Amino acid sequence: MLSQEKALKILEECGLPQGIVDHSKAVSKRAGEIAGEIEEVDEKQLKIAGLLHDIGKARCIGNGNDKPISEHSIESKKMLEEIDQDNLAEICEKHSFRILAKKDLDEYSLEDKILIISDMQTKGSEKVSLEKRYEDLLSRYPNDSESLKKALPKLKKIRSELESTMKIYISGKTS
């Protein structure tokens, strides 16, 4: 497992715009907050996944890169596999609403869901509602409106599931 310091170094060496770096740091913080409320997940791993979930954008934007931004989660997976971080690679690949639109929720682990919601409730470096982020993405990616519409009910279900799980642990109940 990478240390948080090493993950930050990788993130900063990718040459991503500062806005994406700041977003990734905010997603990491949010993932840690959620994971910290749920006993059965690895908070450290989720913080690192939050930092690295968008590194694939380095292969999609600027510097003559020709991959479409819609491929960034796949590129994140490839980059993490190249440094032998297969578990992080799987989590980071699944964070995209484009992939979520195509898959069943039963294909997602609790860790996957935490990263997705952490990303989908972070606009830039600001914590926002799922609905606000959805509107932001619709305005930025109008060609992906069908994927976003298919993903929204799944995102709401994930949010509800995580909130329910967090309340169970907060209240001290175990069943």
**pLDDT the model gives residue 39:** 83
Tell me the pLDDT tens digit for each residue of 45-78: 999 999 999 999 998 886 666 778 889 999 999 9
Contact in structure between 31 and 118 (CB atoms under 8 Å): yes
Residue 72: half-sphere exposure toward Cβ, Cα within 13 Å:
19
Domains with residue ranges and CATH for the chain: 4-169 (1.10.3210.10)
Give exposure, 34-70, as e/b (b: 16+ Cβ within 10 Å): bbebbeebebebbbbbbbbbbbbbbbbeeeeeeeebe
DSSP per-residue codes, 110-153: HHHHHHHHHHHTEETTEE--HHHHHHHHHHH-GGGHHHHHHHHH
Tell me the pLDDT tens digit for each residue of 69-127: 889 999 999 999 999 999 999 999 999 999 999 999 999 999 999 999 999 999 999 99
Say if residue 166's pLDDT is above 90: no
**pLDDT the model gives residue 174:** 45
DSSP lists the bridge partners of residue 126 as 123
CA distance 114 to 120: 10
Which of 57, 168, 164 is CA-nearest to residue 113? 164
